[in-house]
Amino acid sequence: MTAPARTGSSTGVGMVLAGTLSVQFGSAVAALLFPRAGALGTVALRVTITAVLLLAVCRPRLRGYGRADWTVAGAYGVALGGMNILFYQAIDRIPLGPAVTLEVLGPLLMSVVAARRAASLLWAGLAFAGVLLLGRDGFDRLDPAGAGFALGAGAMCTAYILLGARAGRRFPRLDGLAVAMTVAALMSLPLGIGSAGATLLEPGVLGLGLVVALLSSGLPYTLELLALRRLSAPAFAVLTGLAPAVGALAGFLVLGQELSVAQCLAVVLVVAAGSGAVRAGTPRPPRGRHARPRGRGAARRG
């Protein structure tokens, strides 16, 4: 009877990993847009194009929801927009690696606070130590404003995880994400137009914006919303610690950037913590006679 829970957890982990890889490539493409559209213009393109695509594909149903549902969706959108705006402001001032490292500290801290078992606290602590170890080499040379924006993005990322889990329960399919992305677009578009103006309409800029939207928002946010339906929020938060590790490994494999012994140890710690967090968050099977459904009513309710 434990197969569905384990299968769901494994699928959720795979979704988080795929989303993390997609974001890394999307961030690389976004860097190409910065000289032409700026950080705010790039965010506006990324979020707005994603919102249009999601609305066209999902066609979310807008009737049948209460005030509480719309409050969750709206707050989810504000967190989504704020996270993107702050993070792009950060990577416009500091390197991507330290920015990602500082951003994931927020979700990891949340997972530590939310840990209710000693094992969960251990895995969260290991991930926290690994992320700090991974990014320690460049922290002393960071622009203070860039570091502040990255930490702010981490706070918004924490809210994004918690609200995304709630939106996934209140809205079917990807409807909640489509509504939230629309709210985020309404936040970022005026800032992008004010910063980049007519540059946003140039064919080359729009083309790169579409690629960034698909890689950095459309695909990963869809995968993450689906993953949040299979994983607990604390386990998901620990898995976000994989982002700096994936970035470091990608730099080593693709760009030939060397990894120090400390960085290799950090990658091992973060990966082990992610695996342990998922195992700690997987429900244990009931034992004994209570493992079987009692009567037809129990079977129907399941």
Written as one string, the DSSP assignment of 26-71 is: HHHHHHHHHHHHHHHHHHHHHHHHHHHHHHHHH----SS--HHHHH
| Dihedral sign of CA atoms 224, 229, 234, 235 in order | negative
Residue-level pLDDT at 1: 41
Residue 39: closest CA among 82, 110, 90: 90
Residue-level pLDDT at 155: 92
Tell me if the pTM is above 0.85: no
Residue-level pLDDT at 130: 72
Residue-level pLDDT at 249: 65
232 residue type, one letter: S
Count each helix (H run) and each strand (E run) in the chain, helices first. 12, 0
Residue-level pLDDT at 108: 72
* Half-sphere exposure in the Cβ direction for 258 (13 Å, CA): 3
Instruction: Render each residue's pLDDT in the chain as its tens digit; 302 residues.
Output: 444 444 556 787 788 878 888 876 777 677 778 888 998 999 999 899 999 988 998 888 888 889 999 999 999 999 999 999 998 898 888 777 677 777 877 777 777 666 666 666 777 777 777 767 766 655 566 788 988 998 899 899 889 988 988 988 899 888 998 999 999 999 999 999 998 888 998 998 998 889 888 888 888 888 888 887 787 777 777 777 677 666 666 656 654 556 567 766 766 776 676 666 656 554 444 444 444 444 433 333 33
Who's near 245: CB < 8 A, 6+ residues apart? 130, 134, 266, 267, 270, 271
- Per DSSP, the three-state class of 294 is coil
